[in-house]
Chain A
Amino acid sequence: MEHVSEGTRVASEKISRRAAIKAAGALVGAGIVGGVGGFSPAASVSRAAAQPARTPIKIGFQVHRTGIGAVYGRWYERTATAAATLINEMGGIAGRPIQLVPEDDGTDPRRGAEVVEKLAVHHKVDFIYGTLFSHVVIASAPRAGELKIPYFVVSEGYHVASGKLNRYVFQPGITDVRAQVTGISGWLVKNLGKKITMIFPDYAFGYDHRDFLGRAVPALGGTIQARLAIPPTETSFSKYFARVPADTEVLYHVMVGPGVLTFVKEMGEHFGARRPQIFGFIDSLEGVDLASPGLEYLEGTHFWEAFPRYAGGYPTPHERFYRDRVGVNDAGASVRDPKDVSTYSHMFGCWETLFVIKQAVEQSGYRDPTPKDYRALIETLEEVQWFNEGIQHPQGPKKFVGQIHQSFGQQFISKVENRRLKVVHRTKIEDSLYPPEADYRKQPL
């Protein structure tokens, strides 16, 4: 997308004093202040400026405050709040302030659907946003479609891109699991080994890994030696390690759930020094300090990260700015409480998605929650090809595929060294791309 210089100027003028001072420190020196609001076409900005009453744009925030997703929910809420504060300091969306309307869904599908109804019909929000867990997304999406309200999820599930949901659902802020797996598979087979045994949770999130790595690896000349599914409530893992074939070169683990430390510890006890290469998805260890007792065994193993938790892994000024604004220290924990470790590889999606909403509103001239304005917004967003890197998109540039309402970004592979994650590889966006299997644009609105 081209930067529109006039819009940049107008938008920059609208940044509040405090934001300007803060942002300037981080950005001006780096010469990237042009990124702020850089995508706003002049037309929409001037129209927004003309609007007399600055009624807020209300964004319903469906958040997992309780239930199994609560660790993630806590950080999603902090990130979303930080992004909303920044946007308001920058002058809001099309001149209107953002108002987040959070509502807990208990990480429960039924409550999730109810929350969508409550936000849309009772609170009359303009958009709904922020959901993570797949089952909540899948149960909520039909209601958003029926109520005809745009629904932006930050879930990384393959459900949006698969075409199973509807035209009102978007995932523009985070790469989906299929693309993540596809993106790292080349590096994995080339650098760690061709004979791979997978350990994954026995539910939806795990199946995406099972299916898509299972498809990618043979295409690269590797083999999947065994697929071990672990039930979500499992508390002891030794018995699964017994089923890892002896000739396994790489152990690939995706073990989301509270049992992860046990998993790692028992992995260490089982294999000891005679271990295969180990590659994991950081999802299991989001919110967990890598220096926790019991995680010693991870030293020297590799992880996928969407966004490097430890500062310096992706040293851009935008990353630094984002990290500071959300309140995360260099080790990926809360500035206020170093024991409170963030979910750094996921929560950036809340930040970026809020800026996508801002961009879509401003470009489409959206004003009110009417079918006409929603149509304009959805059709505008479906035309977007790229989200440029900047403070709006600190994780990196994203290719957006309008047919499947899904973004594709770069991925990171990190190695555990001295109980910290050190980035060893960054994938290209093309590594993750796959041909779209659906086209939401053909659905009526």
Chain B
Amino acid sequence: MSFEGHLFLALLEGTVTGFVLALTALGLSLVFGVMRIVNVAHGEFFMLGAVIAWYFSTLPGGFLPALVAAPLLVGAAAFLADRLVLRRLEYKPESTIVATIGLLYIIQQLVLTVYGPYARPVAAPVYFRLDFPWFGYSGYKLVVAGVSAALLGATWLVMSRTTLGLYMRATQQDREMAQAFGVSVDRVYALVFALGAGLAAMAGALVVPIQQAHYLMGLDALLMSFIVVILGGLGSLGGTVAAAFLIGVSDGLVSVFFSPTLAKIVATLLVALVLVLRTGGLFGEEGT
């Protein structure tokens, strides 16, 4: 294949990866930003979305209802987790990390028990192959990119134009002040946690026709989301999308021309360094 072919493929892959990654990481970023906690179980919400989508695809209704049901079901589960676990821990950063590690294993093992160890495929709801001069490409991947873009836009609208968004931004900026102005911070937290999980589940459901559902698929999604969120800055929607693209395209380029494992090592180290060098820590005023 010619150099243009390689480059075009890398960019195309990068764009699709970027959109999916942005959607996956968005929930983590919201939770990071508004609630100031690190949700290690985020990848498992992604996996749950994929598994639920598979389940729906075996029902008469087919795959499409899953795109509504998966985020709702997973969101509800996350809502419960917030009420039963996180709130009782008073959202202390370190305790919530330990608790969400616990949730990670509980979700993963329950899925293994109920759903089994298999990687199960789902037929894409729309399928066509695009034939470029150098290679062919999946049309559904472009559809996924499009839907992700629409969802990112919708989230932005919710954040900037609705009362809920206003409450969320207020809580993010100053929790006590928001409370003083009558925002029910508790309720906002529960909603944000559910919304974050729902977005992850949505991403999982969307990619299942590309990737298949498997009970161990969450860890990679989690690590990639971490990288994106840290690079993009917490709670920043624009930053998350930009970082997702940067990671998506550079991963596409580096792994087309070099070793993909090396690409992952380099990206991980770079992000760790960014985090170290960012003064003030992850949560701004935290750490004093």
Interface range on chain B: under 10, 10 to 19, 20 to 34, or 35 or more? 35 or more
Q: Give Cα A259–Cα B211 distance, bound, in whole angstroms.
A: 7
Residue of B nearest to A246 (CB): B1
B5, B117, B136 pick with most chain A CB within 10 angstroms: B117
Q: Mark B196-238, 1 if CB is under 8 A from A, else 0.
A: 0000000000000011101011011000000000000000000
Q: Give the interface segment out of A65-73, A128-136, A170-178.
A: A65-73
Residue of B nearest to A239 (CB): B256
Residue B181 at the chain A interface, CB threshold 8 Å: no
Residue of A nearest to B212 (CB): A261
Q: Answer whether A66 and B112 are a contact pair too, CB < 8 Å, given A258-B217, A262-B211, A292-B121.
A: yes
Residue A207 at the chain B interface, CB threshold 8 Å: no
Residue B71 at the chain A interface, CB threshold 8 Å: no
Please give the distance in Å from B209's CB to the nearest CB on chain A.
Answer: 8
Q: Mark B96-120, 1 if CB is under 8 A from A, else 0.
A: 0000000000000100100011110
Q: Which of B5-22 contact A (CB under 8 A)?
A: 5-6, 9-10, 13, 17
- 8 Å CB contact of B216 from A68, A261, A269: A68
Residue B268 at the chain A interface, CB threshold 8 Å: no
A231, A233, A258, A288 pick with most chain B CB within 10 angstroms: A258
Q: Give Cα A71–Cα B118 distance, bound, in whole angstroms.
A: 6
Residues on B with beta carbons closer than 8 Å to the beta carbon of A288: 118-119
Residue B90 at the chain A interface, CB threshold 8 Å: no
Residue A234 at the chain B interface, CB threshold 8 Å: yes
Q: Give Cα A229–Cα B260 distance, bound, in whole angstroms.
A: 9
Residues on B with beta carbons closer than 8 Å to the beta carbon of A241: 135
Residue A270 at the chain B interface, CB threshold 8 Å: yes
- 8 Å CB contact of A242 from B6, B121, B131, B216: B6
Residue B156 at the chain A interface, CB threshold 8 Å: no
A262 x B118 contact (CB < 8 A): no
B135 x A262 contact (CB < 8 A): no
Residue A260 at the chain B interface, CB threshold 8 Å: yes
Residue B288 at the chain A interface, CB threshold 8 Å: no
Residue A202 at the chain B interface, CB threshold 8 Å: yes
Residue B264 at the chain A interface, CB threshold 8 Å: yes
Q: Which of A58-94 contact B (CB under 8 A)?
A: 66, 68, 70-71, 73-74
Residues on B with beta carbons closer than 8 Å to the beta carbon of A265: 138, 210
Please give the distance in Å from A240's CB to the nearest CB on chain B.
Answer: 8
Q: Answer whether A293 and B123 are a contact pair too, CB < 8 Å, given A71-B117, A242-B9.
A: yes
Residues on A with beta carbons closer than 8 Å to the beta carbon of B155: none
Residue A55 at the chain B interface, CB threshold 8 Å: no
A74 x B117 contact (CB < 8 A): yes
Residue B88 at the chain A interface, CB threshold 8 Å: no
Q: Give Cα A337–Cα B23 distance, bound, in whole angstroms.
A: 36
Residue B283 at the chain A interface, CB threshold 8 Å: no
A242 x B118 contact (CB < 8 A): no
A230 x B131 contact (CB < 8 A): no
Residue A243 at the chain B interface, CB threshold 8 Å: yes
B9 x A258 contact (CB < 8 A): no
Residues on B with beta carbons closer than 8 Å to the beta carbon of A292: 121
B17 x A236 contact (CB < 8 A): yes
Residue B250 at the chain A interface, CB threshold 8 Å: no
Residue B28 at the chain A interface, CB threshold 8 Å: no
Q: Give Cα A270–Cα B137 distance, bound, in whole angstroms.
A: 6
B252 x A272 contact (CB < 8 A): no
Residue B172 at the chain A interface, CB threshold 8 Å: no
Q: Answer whether A239 and B261 are a contact pair too, CB < 8 Å, given A259-B211, A261-B119.
A: no
Please give the distance in Å from B26's CB to the nearest CB on chain A.
Answer: 18
Q: Give Cα A73–Cα B109 distance, bound, in whole angstroms.
A: 16
Q: Give Cα A9–Cα B108 distance, bound, in whole angstroms.
A: 53
Please give the distance in Å from A9's CB to the nearest CB on chain B.
Answer: 45
Residue of B nearest to A70 (CB): B117
A259 x B260 contact (CB < 8 A): no
Please give the distance in Å from A294's CB to the nearest CB on chain B.
Answer: 5
Q: Give Cα A70–Cα B217 distance, bound, in whole angstroms.
A: 15
Q: Give Cα A243–Cα B260 distance, bound, in whole angstroms.
A: 12
Please give the distance in Å from A160's CB to the nearest CB on chain B.
Answer: 26
Q: Give Cα A270–Cα B118 distance, bound, in whole angstroms.
A: 26
Q: Give Cα A270–Cα B1 distance, bound, in whole angstroms.
A: 12
Residue B129 at the chain A interface, CB threshold 8 Å: yes
Selected A-B contacts with CB under 8 Å, 26 pairs: A71-B118, A229-B259, A233-B219, A235-B210, A235-B211, A236-B210, A239-B9, A239-B10, A239-B252, A242-B5, A242-B9, A243-B256, A259-B211, A260-B119, A261-B119, A261-B121, A265-B138, A269-B129, A269-B136, A270-B135, A271-B135, A272-B129, A288-B118, A288-B119, A293-B122, A294-B123
Other 8 A-B pairs with CB < 8 A, given A258-B216, A262-B210? A66-B109, A242-B135, A258-B217, A259-B119, A259-B212, A265-B138, A293-B122, A293-B123
